Amino acid sequence: MRPNIKIVPALAALASTGVCAASLNDVCTSAFARTALPSPSFYQGITIDNSSIVATAVYNTSVSAQVMFPDATFDYCNITFTYSHDGRDDKVALSYWLPAPKNFKHRFLSTGGGGYLISSGSGSLPGGVMYGAVAGTTDAGFGSLTTNFNEVYLLANGTPNYQNLYMFGYQAIHEMSVLGKEFTRLFYEMNQTKLYSYYQGKSSLHVPAKMQTDHSIGCSEGGRDGWSQIQRFADQWDGAVVGAPAFRFAFQQVQHAYSDIVEQTMNYFPPPCELEKILNETTKACDSLDGKVDGVVARTDLCKIHFDISDIIGTPYSCAAASVPMSFPSHPAWPAQNGTVSAKGVAVAEKIIEGLRDSKGRQVYLSYQPSAQFVDAFTQYNVNTSEFELWPSDFAAAFVLPFLQQANQTSFDNLTGVTYDTLKDWIYQGWQEYADTLHTTWPDLTPFHEAGGKILHYHGESDFSIPTASSVHYRESVRKVMYPHLSYNASNNALNDWYRLYLIPGAGHCDVNPYQPNGPFPQTNLAVLIDWVEKGKKPETLNSTVLQGEHLGENRQVCAWPLRPRWRGGGEMECEYDQRSVDQWQVELDAFKMPVY
């Protein structure tokens, strides 16, 4: 039974025709939407504010030029309502976009956030509506869809808000999904019809400084959000798209400071132009190793094996003056830079790619692949000294200061005294303190698998913000934990039946990459996942599209891990197995006695 039904004329009309035959205009009213709210007993501990519901019909909305879904035009009903947790004086705002009844295809899509946001506003919701799914997002009770979690974690210096931590960790998206699915069933009068349930999140524009604009979906924090659901609420999902997840949270956030500590330890602060030259020369040198000269390093593993960055010492570089390529308007512009690639510059680059090791030489964490931009290593220009100097990572600060030191501050004053061992200590502390909320690498996915779930996991091979190897490392953990008695090949085959990982050649962080414009991006991921779940069409290779440059619009296919792309003579791509390459991706993190999943 639906609670609180009041018969109004529009509802009376619906009663005779049914929702499926109704127009968007008929059903997209607050009065009708109120009749579809889950009953008070539906979710223990949650009380929906029935008076808060607002429904607004929106017609002929167009989205275009998105990397995570194709162009589309559609109508939808925008419905918002709030709920509170019993016994706690809070208010959580939910937002759902519902397709017109005739376009509803019995699908629900949960979405997540990016950076420190649990939501991407309405940015990811079109990606569901265009496929006939109700798409939802939540503010987690943080005050707005654009409130950063790290800014509401501390009630005061020294006083964490653990409720907000759990909401960000996994609780908010779970509640939004469970309530949203029930609301969907009631709204469209689905009765016993199967409601397919998917996850795809989104990163957002609201990211801290020293971080490039990021308009990704189902990626980064949105990817971690997805894993937080798959790992805990196995039977809630038919499938999930997760991209470049920001999981292994303490490792991930602290490693943003690693490039800074490399520079500080080596006492060399390379001009950005020098690092860009190293990047461009690396890309040029490694392009052909995949068998196809197209400006795309599709095999960064071969690049690691065969290319010695020191070969480019002495190469001249030159850059015009430029504003800092990030959302940090108060930051001084970079002046024109001219010089030659130095031994010190190369040493910094090599050390960054090697990844964090402690003072005993033991590997603490993974790093970016060669051909990824050196964003974490950007230095800042001091107009007083006319020198480049350290620019401490705000991403690392946004974790270390509030979460480890419980200080309500989002930038480091300095990194004086911080060493590789300090970074290791920060990681260990953060790993322990947030193991059950933010870490998000639980490797046993048996319940999800047994419930029939499918995972499409992807990661840009030239990601500059979350190491590509971080995704490989997790998938390896899942493989080893779930199939301990199978051979490498047999376990990969078993896993690939339901959890597939694709490394996207040339792609940056959840986005196309201006340095490798001919690389593809998997723009149709949700469509691919839907076909896999609903039609059993397993994506042997991942459908992708070139989204910029001279090959704009061309289709590409991406190999599934552990196979790697290789073009031979005739130009056809094959997905090959190459043990030496696979070994490049698998780094033992021997600085810790605990297994790092």
Q: Which of 110, 120, 220, 470 is labelled catalytic? A: 220
- State yes or no: residue 75 binds Ca ion (CB under 5 A): no
> Measured from the CB atom, is 292 or 304 closer to Ca ion?
292
- State yes or no: residue 351 binds Ca ion (CB under 5 A): no
**Of the residues 165, 296, 341, 495, which one makes contact with Ca ion according to CB under 5 A:** 296
- State yes or no: residue 287 binds Ca ion (CB under 5 A): yes
Write out the two tokens for 148.
């950063």
Q: Are 435 and 228 in contact (CB under 8 A)?
A: no
Please enumerate in sequence order all residues whose Cβ is within 8 A of that of 122, keeping only pairs 6 or more positions apart, or say none.
95, 97, 137
Number of residues that bind Ca ion (CB under 5 A): 5
The C-alpha atoms of residue 161 and residue 153 are separated, in whole angstroms, by: 5
Write out the two tokens for 175.
């509640």
Candidates 95-103, 240-248, 296-304, 526-534 — which segment interacts with Ca ion by CB under 5 A? 296-304
> Measured from the CB atom, is 181 or 556 closer to Ca ion?
556
- Tell me the closest approach of the beta carbon of residue 456 to Ca ion, in angstroms: 24
Residue found under tokens 């009068």: 189
> Measured from the CB atom, is 226 or 519 closer to Ca ion?
519
Q: Is residue 106 annotated as part of the catalytic site, yes or no?
A: no
- Strand ranges, E, within 353-423: 380-382, 387-389
- State yes or no: residue 301 binds Ca ion (CB under 5 A): no
Q: What is the 3-class SS of 272-338, one letter each residue? A: HHHHHHHHHHHHHHHHHHHCCCCCCCCCHHHHHHHCCHHHHCCCEEEECCECCCCCCCCCCCECCEE
Q: Which of 358, 509, 544, 581 is labelled catalytic? A: 509
Q: How many CA atoms lie within 13 Å of 226's alpha carbon, on the beta-carbon side? A: 32
Q: Is residue 220 annotated as part of the catalytic site, yes or no?
A: yes
**Of the residues 260, 290, 376, 463, which one makes contact with Ca ion according to CB under 5 A:** 290
> Measured from the CB atom, is 221 or 287 closer to Ca ion?
287
Cα→Cα distances 587→298, 356, 367, 394, 593, Å: 20, 12, 10, 27, 15
Q: Is residue 90 annotated as part of the catalytic site, yes or no?
A: no
- Tell me the closest approach of the beta carbon of residue 292 to Ca ion, in angstroms: 5
Count other Cβ atoms within 10 Å, centred on residue 111.
33
> Measured from the CB atom, is 300 or 441 closer to Ca ion?
300
Interstrand relation of 542-546 and 520-521 (parallel, antiparallel or unpaired): antiparallel
- Tell me the closest approach of the beta carbon of residue 516 to Ca ion, in angstroms: 9
- Tell me the closest approach of the beta carbon of residue 288 to Ca ion, in angstroms: 6
DSSP single-letter state for residue 570: T
> Measured from the CB atom, is 228 or 373 closer to Ca ion?
373
Q: Which of 463, 473, 477, 544 is labelled catalytic? A: 463
Residues 246-275 that bind Ca ion (CB under 5 A): none
Candidates 292-300, 383-391, 399-407, 448-456 — which segment interacts with Ca ion by CB under 5 A? 292-300
| Positions in the binding site for Ca ion (CB under 5 A) | 287, 290, 292, 294, 296
Active-site positions? 220, 463, 509
